[in-house]
Protein backbone atom coordinates (compact mmCIF):
# COMPACT_ATOMS: atom_id res chain seq x y z
CA UNK A 1 0.00 0.00 0.00
CA UNK A 2 1.13 3.52 -0.65
CA UNK A 3 0.65 6.21 1.98
CA UNK A 4 -1.74 9.13 1.87
CA UNK A 5 0.68 11.24 -0.20
CA UNK A 6 0.34 8.79 -3.07
CA UNK A 7 -3.44 8.71 -3.04
CA UNK A 8 -5.68 10.39 -5.58
CA UNK A 9 -6.85 13.77 -4.24
CA UNK A 10 -10.24 14.29 -2.66
CA UNK A 11 -13.22 15.16 -4.85
CA UNK A 12 -13.59 18.28 -2.69
CA UNK A 13 -10.36 19.95 -3.89
CA UNK A 14 -9.49 18.42 -7.24
CA UNK A 15 -10.67 18.06 -10.84
CA UNK A 16 -13.24 15.37 -11.53
CA UNK A 17 -11.81 11.97 -10.73
CA UNK A 18 -11.83 9.39 -13.50
CA UNK A 19 -13.42 6.13 -12.34
CA UNK A 20 -13.66 2.96 -14.44
CA UNK A 21 -15.84 0.02 -13.42
CA UNK A 22 -14.74 -3.37 -14.75
CA UNK A 23 -17.46 -6.00 -14.46
CA UNK A 24 -20.97 -4.60 -14.75
CA UNK A 25 -22.97 -7.33 -13.06
CA UNK A 26 -25.24 -6.67 -10.10
CA UNK A 27 -22.42 -5.44 -7.84
CA UNK A 28 -20.54 -3.41 -10.45
CA UNK A 29 -23.69 -2.05 -12.05
CA UNK A 30 -25.01 -0.72 -8.77
CA UNK A 31 -21.64 0.82 -7.90
CA UNK A 32 -21.33 2.46 -11.34
CA UNK A 33 -24.84 3.88 -11.25
CA UNK A 34 -24.56 5.22 -7.70
CA UNK A 35 -21.16 6.80 -8.41
CA UNK A 36 -22.38 8.39 -11.65
CA UNK A 37 -25.67 9.73 -10.24
CA UNK A 38 -24.31 12.75 -8.28
CA UNK A 39 -22.33 13.92 -11.33
CA UNK A 40 -19.10 14.43 -9.36
CA UNK A 41 -16.98 11.85 -11.17
CA UNK A 42 -16.18 10.87 -14.74
CA UNK A 43 -17.51 7.29 -14.61
CA UNK A 44 -17.04 4.79 -17.42
CA UNK A 45 -17.81 1.09 -17.66
CA UNK A 46 -15.91 -1.73 -19.37
CA UNK A 47 -18.54 -4.07 -20.80
CA UNK A 48 -19.25 -6.72 -23.42
CA UNK A 49 -22.38 -5.01 -24.79
CA UNK A 50 -22.51 -1.21 -25.19
CA UNK A 51 -25.46 0.90 -24.00
CA UNK A 52 -26.17 4.58 -23.38
CA UNK A 53 -28.03 4.62 -20.08
CA UNK A 54 -27.87 2.44 -16.98
CA UNK A 55 -31.03 1.75 -14.95
CA UNK A 56 -30.64 0.95 -11.25
CA UNK A 57 -33.39 -0.43 -9.02
CA UNK A 58 -32.81 0.17 -5.32
CA UNK A 59 -34.61 0.70 -2.01
CA UNK A 60 -35.74 4.19 -3.06
CA UNK A 61 -37.02 3.20 -6.49
CA UNK A 62 -35.51 3.27 -9.97
CA UNK A 63 -33.16 5.85 -11.42
CA UNK A 64 -31.17 6.01 -14.64
CA UNK A 65 -27.93 7.73 -15.58
CA UNK A 66 -26.04 8.24 -18.82
CA UNK A 67 -22.98 6.00 -18.79
CA UNK A 68 -20.10 5.90 -21.23
CA UNK A 69 -19.19 2.30 -22.04
CA UNK A 70 -16.22 0.68 -23.72
CA UNK A 71 -16.07 -2.79 -25.24
CA UNK A 72 -12.40 -2.78 -26.31
CA UNK A 73 -9.50 -2.43 -23.85
CA UNK A 74 -7.47 -0.69 -26.55
CA UNK A 75 -9.92 2.25 -26.40
CA UNK A 76 -9.38 3.13 -22.73
CA UNK A 77 -6.75 5.28 -21.03
CA UNK A 78 -5.42 5.32 -17.44
CA UNK A 79 -7.80 6.48 -14.71
CA UNK A 80 -7.61 7.53 -11.06
CA UNK A 81 -9.76 4.68 -9.78
CA UNK A 82 -10.72 1.23 -11.02
CA UNK A 83 -13.53 -0.71 -9.36
CA UNK A 84 -12.91 -4.36 -10.22
CA UNK A 85 -16.26 -6.10 -9.82
CA UNK A 86 -15.78 -9.31 -11.80
CA UNK A 87 -16.09 -12.75 -10.29
CA UNK A 88 -12.78 -13.97 -8.89
CA UNK A 89 -12.28 -16.57 -11.62
CA UNK A 90 -12.74 -13.86 -14.26
CA UNK A 91 -9.82 -11.74 -12.97
CA UNK A 92 -7.40 -12.95 -15.64
CA UNK A 93 -9.89 -12.16 -18.40
CA UNK A 94 -10.13 -8.62 -16.98
CA UNK A 95 -6.35 -8.34 -17.21
CA UNK A 96 -6.29 -6.51 -20.58
CA UNK A 97 -8.62 -3.85 -19.15
CA UNK A 98 -6.57 -3.46 -15.98
CA UNK A 99 -3.28 -3.15 -17.83
CA UNK A 100 -4.67 -0.28 -19.91
CA UNK A 101 -6.47 1.48 -17.06
CA UNK A 102 -3.81 1.27 -14.35
CA UNK A 103 -0.60 3.12 -13.59
CA UNK A 104 1.31 3.20 -10.29
CA UNK A 105 -0.85 6.19 -9.25
CA UNK A 106 -4.15 4.37 -9.88
CA UNK A 107 -6.09 2.83 -6.99
CA UNK A 108 -7.87 -0.45 -7.70
CA UNK A 109 -10.79 -1.24 -5.39
CA UNK A 110 -11.38 -4.99 -5.59
CA UNK A 111 -15.08 -5.59 -4.93
CA UNK A 112 -14.64 -9.35 -5.06
CA UNK A 113 -15.17 -12.37 -2.88
CA UNK A 114 -12.37 -14.38 -1.32
CA UNK A 115 -9.47 -13.67 1.02
CA UNK A 116 -6.54 -13.03 -1.32
CA UNK A 117 -7.54 -9.94 -3.31
CA UNK A 118 -4.09 -8.36 -3.62
CA UNK A 119 -2.28 -11.57 -4.59
CA UNK A 120 -4.91 -12.36 -7.24
CA UNK A 121 -4.94 -8.91 -8.86
CA UNK A 122 -1.36 -7.64 -8.52
CA UNK A 123 -0.01 -9.24 -11.73
CA UNK A 124 -2.36 -7.14 -13.88
CA UNK A 125 -2.31 -3.60 -12.42
CA UNK A 126 1.12 -2.12 -13.23
CA UNK A 127 1.99 -1.43 -9.61
CA UNK A 128 -1.31 0.28 -8.74
CA UNK A 129 -2.48 0.36 -5.13
CA UNK A 130 -4.98 -2.45 -4.42
CA UNK A 131 -7.76 -1.96 -1.87
CA UNK A 132 -9.64 -5.15 -0.92
CA UNK A 133 -13.36 -4.47 -0.45
CA UNK A 134 -15.96 -6.74 1.14
CA UNK A 135 -19.42 -6.27 -0.37
CA UNK A 136 -22.55 -6.52 1.77
CA UNK A 137 -25.27 -5.60 -0.69
CA UNK A 138 -27.10 -8.05 -2.90
CA UNK A 139 -26.82 -7.27 -6.60
CA UNK A 140 -28.61 -8.81 -9.56
CA UNK A 141 -28.18 -7.95 -13.23
CA UNK A 142 -31.60 -7.99 -14.85
CA UNK A 143 -30.64 -6.97 -18.41
CA UNK A 144 -27.38 -5.61 -19.88
CA UNK A 145 -28.42 -2.05 -18.95
CA UNK A 146 -30.44 -2.70 -15.78
CA UNK A 147 -29.41 -3.88 -12.31
CA UNK A 148 -31.09 -4.26 -8.94
CA UNK A 149 -29.38 -3.92 -5.57
CA UNK A 150 -30.62 -4.45 -2.03
CA UNK A 151 -28.67 -3.55 1.12
CA UNK A 152 -28.48 -6.42 3.62
CA UNK A 153 -26.24 -4.80 6.25
CA UNK A 154 -25.68 -1.46 7.98
CA UNK A 155 -22.29 -1.33 6.23
CA UNK A 156 -22.60 -2.18 2.54
CA UNK A 157 -18.82 -2.07 1.96
CA UNK A 158 -15.89 -2.90 4.26
CA UNK A 159 -12.19 -2.07 3.75
CA UNK A 160 -9.01 -2.12 5.82
CA UNK A 161 -8.45 0.97 7.96
CA UNK A 162 -5.43 2.21 6.03
CA UNK A 163 -4.71 4.94 3.49
CA UNK A 164 -6.27 2.99 0.63
CA UNK A 165 -9.37 2.02 2.57
CA UNK A 166 -9.95 5.56 3.76
CA UNK A 167 -9.51 6.91 0.23
CA UNK A 168 -12.13 4.43 -0.99
CA UNK A 169 -14.51 5.51 1.77
CA UNK A 170 -14.10 9.11 0.61
CA UNK A 171 -14.71 8.12 -3.01
CA UNK A 172 -18.00 6.45 -2.05
CA UNK A 173 -19.11 9.22 0.32
CA UNK A 174 -21.51 10.84 -2.23
CA UNK A 175 -23.36 7.53 -2.64
CA UNK A 176 -25.81 5.83 -0.24
CA UNK A 177 -23.35 2.92 0.17
CA UNK A 178 -21.73 3.19 3.59
CA UNK A 179 -18.09 2.10 3.89
CA UNK A 180 -16.75 0.68 7.16
CA UNK A 181 -12.97 0.80 7.59
CA UNK A 182 -11.60 -1.76 10.04
CA UNK A 183 -8.21 -2.38 11.65
CA UNK A 184 -9.11 -6.09 11.94
CA UNK A 185 -9.84 -6.72 8.29
CA UNK A 186 -8.60 -10.33 8.44
CA UNK A 187 -11.43 -11.22 10.84
CA UNK A 188 -14.04 -9.44 8.77
CA UNK A 189 -12.95 -11.04 5.51
CA UNK A 190 -13.20 -14.48 7.13
CA UNK A 191 -16.65 -13.63 8.45
CA UNK A 192 -17.67 -12.68 4.91
CA UNK A 193 -16.15 -15.93 3.66
CA UNK A 194 -18.21 -17.85 6.21
CA UNK A 195 -21.41 -16.18 4.99
CA UNK A 196 -20.51 -17.23 1.46
CA UNK A 197 -19.42 -20.71 2.54
CA UNK A 198 -22.95 -21.50 3.66
CA UNK A 199 -25.25 -19.59 1.33
CA UNK A 200 -23.48 -19.95 -2.02
CA UNK A 201 -22.89 -23.73 -2.18
CA UNK A 202 -26.29 -24.67 -0.76
CA UNK A 203 -28.32 -22.38 -3.04
CA UNK A 204 -26.32 -23.44 -6.09
CA UNK A 205 -26.55 -27.17 -5.38
CA UNK A 206 -30.27 -27.11 -4.51
CA UNK A 207 -31.14 -24.53 -7.19
CA UNK A 208 -33.14 -22.64 -4.57
CA UNK A 209 -32.89 -19.11 -3.24
CA UNK A 210 -31.98 -18.38 0.37
CA UNK A 211 -35.32 -19.64 1.63
CA UNK A 212 -33.77 -23.12 1.49
CA UNK A 213 -31.45 -22.17 4.37
CA UNK A 214 -34.50 -22.07 6.64
CA UNK A 215 -35.08 -25.82 6.34
CA UNK A 216 -34.04 -27.35 9.71
CA UNK A 217 -31.89 -30.02 8.06
CA UNK A 218 -30.15 -27.51 5.78
CA UNK A 219 -29.68 -25.10 8.69
CA UNK A 220 -27.98 -27.86 10.71
CA UNK A 221 -25.77 -28.79 7.76
CA UNK A 222 -24.71 -25.17 7.37
CA UNK A 223 -23.73 -25.00 11.05
CA UNK A 224 -21.43 -27.99 10.58
CA UNK A 225 -19.94 -26.57 7.37
CA UNK A 226 -19.30 -23.27 9.13
CA UNK A 227 -17.75 -24.95 12.18
CA UNK A 228 -15.08 -26.43 9.90
CA UNK A 229 -14.51 -23.10 8.17
CA UNK A 230 -14.29 -21.14 11.44
CA UNK A 231 -11.63 -23.50 12.77
CA UNK A 232 -9.56 -22.84 9.64
CA UNK A 233 -10.14 -19.09 9.90
CA UNK A 234 -8.83 -19.04 13.46
CA UNK A 235 -5.69 -20.82 12.30
CA UNK A 236 -5.31 -18.09 9.67
CA UNK A 237 -5.39 -15.38 12.36
CA UNK A 238 -9.07 -14.38 12.34
CA UNK A 239 -10.57 -13.61 15.75
CA UNK A 240 -13.66 -15.77 15.29
CA UNK A 241 -15.81 -16.54 18.30
CA UNK A 242 -16.62 -20.10 19.33
CA UNK A 243 -20.25 -19.47 18.42
CA UNK A 244 -19.34 -17.83 15.10
CA UNK A 245 -21.25 -20.43 13.01
CA UNK A 246 -24.47 -19.69 14.91
CA UNK A 247 -23.87 -15.95 14.57
CA UNK A 248 -23.43 -16.33 10.81
CA UNK A 249 -26.62 -18.34 10.44
CA UNK A 250 -28.52 -15.84 12.58
CA UNK A 251 -27.28 -13.11 10.25
CA UNK A 252 -28.32 -15.08 7.17
CA UNK A 253 -31.81 -15.47 8.60
CA UNK A 254 -32.18 -11.67 8.48
CA UNK A 255 -31.74 -11.69 4.69
CA UNK A 256 -34.83 -11.90 2.52
CA UNK A 257 -35.58 -15.55 1.63
CA UNK A 258 -36.11 -14.38 -1.96
CA UNK A 259 -32.48 -13.33 -2.38
CA UNK A 260 -30.19 -15.40 -4.57
CA UNK A 261 -26.41 -15.79 -4.43
CA UNK A 262 -23.73 -15.40 -7.07
CA UNK A 263 -23.32 -19.17 -7.43
CA UNK A 264 -27.08 -19.63 -7.66
CA UNK A 265 -27.37 -17.08 -10.47
CA UNK A 266 -24.33 -18.53 -12.24
CA UNK A 267 -25.81 -22.02 -12.13
CA UNK A 268 -29.10 -20.76 -13.55
CA UNK A 269 -27.14 -19.08 -16.34
CA UNK A 270 -25.01 -22.16 -17.00
CA UNK A 271 -21.81 -20.32 -16.05
CA UNK A 272 -18.75 -21.46 -14.05
CA UNK A 273 -18.69 -20.65 -10.32
CA UNK A 274 -16.10 -18.74 -8.29
CA UNK A 275 -15.82 -21.86 -6.19
CA UNK A 276 -12.04 -21.76 -5.72
CA UNK A 277 -12.15 -18.37 -3.97
CA UNK A 278 -14.90 -19.49 -1.58
CA UNK A 279 -15.17 -23.16 -0.61
CA UNK A 280 -11.86 -23.87 -2.33
CA UNK A 281 -10.09 -21.25 -0.20
CA UNK A 282 -11.36 -22.91 2.99
CA UNK A 283 -10.23 -26.37 1.94
CA UNK A 284 -6.83 -25.09 0.77
CA UNK A 285 -6.24 -23.18 4.02
CA UNK A 286 -7.29 -26.26 6.00
CA UNK A 287 -4.69 -28.32 4.15
CA UNK A 288 -2.01 -25.71 4.92
CA UNK A 289 -2.79 -25.95 8.64
CA UNK A 290 -3.47 -29.69 8.79
CA UNK A 291 -7.15 -29.13 9.62
CA UNK A 292 -9.67 -31.61 8.22
CA UNK A 293 -12.59 -30.08 6.26
CA UNK A 294 -14.60 -33.09 5.06
CA UNK A 295 -17.92 -31.32 4.59
CA UNK A 296 -16.41 -28.39 2.73
CA UNK A 297 -14.43 -30.91 0.71
CA UNK A 298 -17.62 -32.68 -0.40
CA UNK A 299 -19.23 -29.38 -1.36
CA UNK A 300 -16.08 -28.40 -3.27
CA UNK A 301 -16.07 -31.65 -5.25
CA UNK A 302 -19.73 -31.27 -6.25
CA UNK A 303 -19.39 -27.58 -7.11
CA UNK A 304 -16.27 -28.20 -9.20
CA UNK A 305 -18.05 -30.90 -11.17
CA UNK A 306 -20.89 -28.53 -12.08
CA UNK A 307 -18.66 -25.51 -12.65
CA UNK A 308 -16.22 -27.34 -14.91
CA UNK A 309 -19.08 -28.75 -16.96
CA UNK A 310 -20.54 -25.26 -17.33
CA UNK A 311 -17.15 -23.98 -18.48
CA UNK A 312 -17.05 -26.34 -21.48
CA UNK A 313 -17.78 -24.75 -24.86
CA UNK A 314 -21.36 -25.28 -25.91
CA UNK A 315 -21.74 -27.28 -29.11
The 3-state DSSP class for residue 31 equals: helix
Catalytic residue among 192, 231, 271, 312: 192
**CB–CB of 290/304 below 8 Å?**
no
| Residue of 245, 161, 149, 235 lying closest to 195 (CA atoms) | 245
**CB–CB of 126/133 below 8 Å?**
no
Give the integer Cα–Cα distance in Å for 134 and 155.
10
DSSP 6: G
99 catalytic? Reply is no
**CB–CB of 55/62 below 8 Å?**
yes
| Residue of 182, 186, 215, 183 lying closest to 198 (CA atoms) | 215
Q: What angle do CA 227, 119, 275 make, to 5 degrees?
A: 45
Q: Among all residues, which ones are annotated catalytic?
A: 192
Amino acid sequence: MCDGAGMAPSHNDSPRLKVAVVGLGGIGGAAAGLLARPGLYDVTACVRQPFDRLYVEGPEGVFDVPLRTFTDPAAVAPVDWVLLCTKTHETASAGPWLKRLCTPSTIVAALQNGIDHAERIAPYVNGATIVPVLVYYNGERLTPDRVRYRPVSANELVTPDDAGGRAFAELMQPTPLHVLTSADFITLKWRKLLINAAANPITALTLQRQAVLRRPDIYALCLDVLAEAAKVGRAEGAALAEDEPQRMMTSLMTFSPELGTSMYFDRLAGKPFEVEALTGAIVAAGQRHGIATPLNGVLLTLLRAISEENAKPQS
